[in-house]
A and B are shown apart, each in its own frame.
Chain A
Amino acid sequence: MQQLLNTALGGLTLGMVYAAFALALVLIWRSTRVVNFAQAPMAMVTTFIALVIVDAGHSYWLAFAAALASGLVLGAVVERVVIRPVEGGPEINAVILTLGLFIVLHALAAVVFGNRYRSFPAPFGVRGIEVGGTTIALTGFGIFTILAVLATMGLLLLLFQRTDIGLRMRASAFNPEVARLLGVRVGRMLTLGWALASLVGSLAGLLIAGGSLVHPGYMDSVVVYGFVAAVLGGLDSPFGAVVGGLLLGLALSFVSGYVGSQLVALAALVILMLVLVLRPGGLFAQTAARRV
C-alpha cells in the first residue's frame, strides 16, 4: 500500500514536469506546426544562467526569476532569428533548424559552462515528508513543483481565455490569414507564443534540476518524455498535453517501481507506439471531434 502511494506520488511530481514540458511543445506546435527539439537545450541554458547567479552568491529566487525571464527572451529571439526566416517554406525546414539549434546550444553550453555535472540547489527540502510516522515520497520541493506547474498553467489559461492578447494569440494559431485580415499582428503573436513556450520549458528545466545535478545534456531525455506526453494528449491540445504529461509520469513511475527502472525509456517508447497505432490524434485532439 505504501509503495503504491509512493509510486503514485513520485509519478505525480514527475508527471507535472512532463506536463509543463509537453505544454511548451504544444504551444509552439499549435501555432507554427514545428516540434521544437531545441526546447531541451534552451531550458538547459536558462538553468545554467540560474546556476551562475546562485554561484555568485545571490538568492535562489533571483536566479529562478532570471532563468524564467531569460527563457522568455530566448524563445522570442529563437523565433525571430532562427524560425522566422524559413516561415512559409516546408515545415520540415524549421524542425531541422531546431535540431541544429539543439546541437549548437549543447556545444555552446559545454564551452561556456563546462561539460561536467554540477549540483543545482533546491529552495525546499528534497527529503520525504513524514506523515503519521512514515516517510512518504513527497518532498517539499515536490510540492513546490506541483504548485509551480499548476500556477503556471492557471496563468496561461487566464491569459488565453480571458484576455484580448490571448484571443489574438489563439486566432493567430487557428487561422493566421483570417487573423491578419482582422488586424491581428500575427508575427508578433508567434514571437510571443514562442517566448511563453520557452518560459514554460525553462520552468520545467528548473524543476528537474532542483536538488539534483545539471549538465549540458541533462534535459535531453525530458524532451523525449515531453514529446511522448504531448503526442499522448494530442499535439494540438494544451489540456491534452497536461493530462498526457500526468499519465506518462504515473505510468513511468509504476514501470520503474514495479517492473524495473531500466525499462522506463522502453516503456515510454511502447506508449508512444501504442498511441500512434490506436489513437494517432492523441487522447484529446480536436481533429477527432471535427471529423463528426
Chain B
Amino acid sequence: MLTVTDLTAGYGPVRALDGVSFTAERGQVTAVLGANGAGKTTLLRTISGLHRAERGSVDLDGERLDRVAADRMPARGLAHVPEGRGVITELTVEENLRLGALGRTGRLDPADLERVYGLFPVLADRRAATAHVLSGGERQMLVVGRALMARPTTLLLDEPSLGLAPRIVAQIFELLRGLVESESLTVLLVEQNARSALSIAHHGVVLNLGRVVADDDADALAADDQLRHAYLGF
C-alpha cells in the first residue's frame, strides 16, 4: 500500500504539487488522471525520489520513502517506468532486462529472465537485438518487463499508452491487470487517456493544477458526467 500525504513540490516559484494526499491499495490499479500540467509526472518523480518534495511524506507498506534516494528505490520494491518509456536504446533487449534485475539484489536470477520472456514472447525472440530496433509497443513491453525483473511490490507507470495504437494499449493494459492480480502489485498508473485508464483501474485520483479534485472508485469517476467533462475530456 502506497500512501501519499500532503505532498508538495515545485520548480522554483512554480508549484506543481500542492498538498496531494491519497492512498493506492495493494493488488489494485490506481489511476492518476488529469490534463497536461496537472502535476501527474511530477507526482511520480517525487515519489520515486527524482524530484525533491518541499513538504509531505510518502509511505510504502509502513516505511517512509520520502528521504530515500532514487537509486535505492528498487531495493525498497518500487519500480518507476518513466514517461517516454525509458528504454536504453543503445543496449540490447536482454541487457535492458538484466539491468532491471541488478537494481534490487545486485544479481541476476535466470528464472526472472525466463518469466519475463514467458510474459512477453516477442522480447524472447529479439533478446540479442539492440533495443532501438523495437517498435513502440515492444518498447513498452520491455520497460514493463524490465521493471518486473526487480520483483517490485509497487509499479509507477507514466503514460504507458502514449503514442501506441489502441489495440496495443488494450493488450498491455490486459497484461498489466493480470499481473496486478497474480503478483498482488500496487500500480500507480498516470494517464492522459482517462477512458482507457479507468477501464482497468480499480480506483482513480484526479489532479488539477497540483491539487486532488476527485478521489473515488474508477466506476464512480467514469459515471460522473460533470467531472468527466471538466477534467477527463471524454
Q: Report the bound CA distance from A167 to B132 in whole Å.
A: 17
Binary contact track B71-86/A, C-beta < 8 Å → 1, others 0 = 1111100011010001
Contact A171 B91 (CB under 8 A): yes
Give min CB distance, B69 to chain A, whole Å: 8
Residue B70 contacts which of A168, A181, A286 (CB distance < 8 angstroms)? A181
Contact yes or no, A167 B99, CB < 8 A:
yes
Contacts of A171 in B (CB 8 A): 88, 91, 99
Closest Cβ–Cβ distance, residue B51 to chain A (whole Å): 11
Chain A residues with Cβ under 8 A from B74's Cβ? 181-183
Cβ–Cβ contact B71 & A185, under 8 A: yes
Interface size on B, as a range, is 20 to 34
Encode contact with A along B51-78: 1 for CB under 8 Å, 0 otherwise: 0000000000000000000111111000
Total cross-chain contacts (CB, 8 A): 70
A182: chain B residues at CB < 8 Å are 74, 99-100, 102-103, 146, 150
Nearest-CB distance from B78 to chain A (Å)? 9
* Residues of the B chain whose Cβ atoms lie less than 8 Å from the Cβ of A183: 71-75, 102-104, 150
Which residue of the partner chain, among A175, A185, A286, contacts B88 with CB atoms under 8 Å? Answer: A175
Q: A178, B88: Cβ atoms under 8 Å?
A: yes
Complex: A170 Cα to B131 Cα, angstroms: 14
> Which residues on A sit within 8 Å (CB–CB) of B90?
170, 174, 286
Task: State whether the Cβ of A95 lies closer than 8 Å to any Cβ in chain B.
Answer: no
Contacts of A174 in B (CB 8 A): 88-91
Most buried by B among A177, A183, A286: A183
State which residues 73-132 of A face B: CB under 8 Å: none
Query: Would B82 and A167 count as touching, CB distance under 8 A?
Result: no
Smallest CB separation, B159 vs chain A (Å): 15
Greatest chain A CB density within 10 A among B74, B82, B100, B102 is at B102
Among residues of A, the one whose C-beta sits closest to the C-beta of B79 is A181
> Which B residues lie at the A interface, using CB under 8 A?
48, 50, 70-75, 79-80, 82, 86, 88-91, 95, 98-100, 102-104, 106-108, 132, 146, 150
